[in-house]
Each structure stands twice: as structure tokens, then as C-alpha cells.
Amino acid sequence: MLAYVSNYVTIALENMKVYEELKSLNKARERAIHHLSHELRTPLSLISAVFERLVKECRKSADNASSLKRIYRGQRNVNRLRSLQNKIDDILNSRFYEEKEETIRIVQSAADFVEEHGEQISGPYAEALSQIQERIKSVYCVPDTVIEQLDLGQLLESSIDEAVSLMGARDLEITKGIGQNLVVASDGNVLKKVFGGLLRNAIENTPDEGKTNIGAQEKDGVICVDFRDYGIGITPQNRKLIFGGFFHTQDTMIYSSRKPYEFGAGGSGSDLLRTKIFSERHRFSVKFSSTRCPFIPEDKNECPGVISLCPFSSAKSDCLSSGGSIFSVRFPKSYGIMP
């Protein structure tokens, strides 16, 4: 019996050791990403300023049209890096949120302790505690959450208008089914990033001549916002990793970063990771379902990107019924009440 029990104890100790090693590895990885994000900020700002200066200089002469094209191409790539850096900041800041709040609670508890024992928190005491709290906020760099009553219909319409203006010459039909009086109490900046990211994801995974649908309805006290694309869908093996971040669903040999909103634009997957982390912090849920197009079952299989060019579809309806994904953002009933 002792030998039997000792085996279980040994396994538990080994598992604990592996867990601690993985925990340390994840912490080191987060610090590395945070450091890289911080190091990117200054050079990106300088490069952006140089490009702006070059644009002004080139505009003075009509002979610099070709140079302007190259500069604009450089600016687009700098903006892409800035966008990625902002997403990384959102991801890391959200993970540090609970740690920061716990530290501030400790400082506040110290202030309450002093007050309970009859000492007045004034003068140097108040100033010192205030400085400590401000220092904590500056170290963690976590923006304050601003909770307000938000009309989801207006927020979604704004996200759709922005996406339409940015997707250029894409030939897509964007349909809507948004109910009335859908109000939640949340942070507007957070939901704008979540909706914008999911809508862009739907557009980038839908071939031209196809369509995407945005729906929002309340049922049984739950408000559900759906982003549906009639695209190629996600393979079963990738569905398990889709919220992992910094992960692309295309085969490595055919992966390439293209302009945002282009079909198969690729990307780091940071939008979906940020959405998942936001959901954990702000108490809404994100679920998804997906059907992979049976004619391109593997990641290495490519879609032509235009329905009329697909050798497997004789009509538009063939493509619309073959694959696609739905990402659903769900707000519980309590979300409609201001705290």
C-alpha cells in the first residue's frame, strides 16, 4: 500500500515540477513580448515621423510621384506594426489588470488600517500613498475602464461603416439583422475593438462575390451578437488553437501578410486572442462554430478568392452553402444594468 501511494505522490511531484517550469516559461515569454512591444514604440514613432517629413518634401515637386508610392508603402507597413503593437499592449495589459488591482487593494488596505487606528491620513501620509498608487498605475500601464450605457446597434453600425470604407474594392455583400434597444453597460473602446476585429476576420475569410452577416438579437435575457462569414471555414485541428494568438490558419508555405480586409490577409491571430482576454476581464463570452469547405479540406489547399473562379462552384449558392464560420459575442442579462 505504501508503494502504491508513493507512486501517486511521485507523479504529483513530477507534475508540479513540470507545471512550475511551464509557468516560469510563460512568464518569461510574456516579459519578452512586453519588452519587444516597448522597444518597438520609439523606433516606430521615429520612422513614422521620417516618412511624414519625406511626404511633405516629395509633394513640393511633381516629379516625385514614384517616390511617393514607395513612401506610402513604407507608411502602410509601419502602421501595420503599430497596429500589432497596440494589440500586444491590450493583451498584456489585460493580463496584468488583476495583478495591478490586487496591489492597489493592498495599498488601500494599508490606508484603511492607519485610519482605523486613529491616525489621520494627511500631509506626508496622504501624499506618500497617493504617489505609491500612481507609481503602480504607471508600472502596469493599464488604462482605466470606463463603464457606460452603450447602444449596440449604433456601435455595430459604426464598425460596419468603418470596415466598408477600409476594404476598398472588395466585392462583398454585408447583410445586417440588428434588433432594436440592445443596450449594455460596458467599456466602449473595448467593444469597438472586439467588434471591429471579428468583422475584419469575417471579411478576410470570405472570397469576393460572397457575403458576411452581422446579427444582434436578445433572447431569453441574453444579447447575442453574431459575425458570420460564408467563407472557407476553419479546419478541425485549427479550431482548438484559434484563440491562442500569434497563430495563422494557412499552411506556412502559402502564408503571407497582405493588406487588411483583403481575402486571406493572414495576420498574427492577435485580434482573436485579445477578444478572448477582453471577454474574461469584462464578463461576456465568445463562442464560435465553423464548417470547412469540403473542396479545400486542408490548410495547404488554396481558395482562388473569387467565387466565379472556383472550379467547384457552378453558382454563388454552391459556395455560400459549402463552408463558413460564426463568432458569437454573448452578454448576460446583468450587462444591461449599470453597476
Instruction: Report DSSP letters for 296-316, one per residue.
Output: S-STTS---SBGGG-TT-SSH
> The domain 147-336: what is its CATH number?
3.30.565.10
Confidence of residue 254 (pLDDT cuts 50, 70, 90): very low
**Order of strands across the sheet that contains 222-229:** 173-178, 211-219, 222-229, 324-331, 285-291
The residue that leads in pLDDT, 45 or 166, is: 166
Instruction: Name the phi and psi angles at 323, rounded to 5.
Output: -165, 180
Distance between terminal CA atoms of the chain? Answer: 55
Average pLDDT, integer, range 320-332: 92
Average pLDDT, integer, range 46-70: 81
Output the CA–CA distances (angstroms, integers) from residue 334 to 148, 154, 226, 275, in the order listed: 14, 20, 19, 20
Alpha helices (H) in the chain, listed in sequence order = 2-58, 65-116, 124-140, 152-166, 188-204, 236-239, 270-282, 316-320
* Cα gap 83→77, rounded to integer Å: 10
Output the CA–CA distances (angstroms, integers) from residue 330 to 35, 38, 223, 224, 238, in the order listed: 34, 33, 6, 5, 23
121 forms beta bridges with: none
Longest CA–CA span in the chain (Å) reads 90
Beta carbons within 10 angstroms of residue 331's beta carbon: 25
- The secondary structure of 231-276 as a DSSP string is S----HHHHTTTTSSS--SS-TTT-----TTSTT----SHHHHHHH
Confidence of residue 253 (pLDDT cuts 50, 70, 90): very low
Confidence of residue 339 (pLDDT cuts 50, 70, 90): very low
Q: What is the pTM (predicted TM-score) of this model? A: 0.62
What residue ranges do the domains of the chain occupy?
Answer: 2-140, 147-336
Going 160 to 161 to 166 to 171, the CA torsion angle's sign is positive
Indicate the pairing of strand 324-331 with strand 285-291.
antiparallel
pLDDT > 90? residue 152: yes
Cell of 314: 457552378
Output the CA–CA distances (angstroms, integers) from residue 258 to 51, 211, 261, in the order listed: 21, 20, 9
Residues for the chain: how many in total? 339
Least confident of 175-179, 188-192, 264-268, 300-304: 264-268
Cβ atoms of residues 96 and 140 within 8 Å: yes
pLDDT at 76: 81
Rounded to an integer, what is the distance from CA 42 to the centroid of its chain?
23
Confidence of residue 308 (pLDDT cuts 50, 70, 90): very high
Cell of 36: 519587444
pLDDT at 287: 92
Cβ atoms of residues 165 and 136 within 8 Å: no
* Cα gap 78→67, rounded to integer Å: 17
Q: Is 336 helix (H, G, I), strand (E, B) or coil?
A: helix
pLDDT at 265: 78
Which single residue is written with the C-alpha cell 447602444? Answer: 151
Average pLDDT, integer, range 186-215: 92
Average pLDDT, integer, range 290-299: 90
* Cα gap 324→85, rounded to integer Å: 29
Angle (CA) 91 92 98, round 5°: 105
Average pLDDT, integer, range 46-57: 83
> Percentage of the chain with pLDDT > 90?
27
**Which conformational region is residue 262 in: left (phi greater than 0), alpha (psi within -120 to 50 degrees), or beta?**
beta
Confidence of residue 229 (pLDDT cuts 50, 70, 90): very high
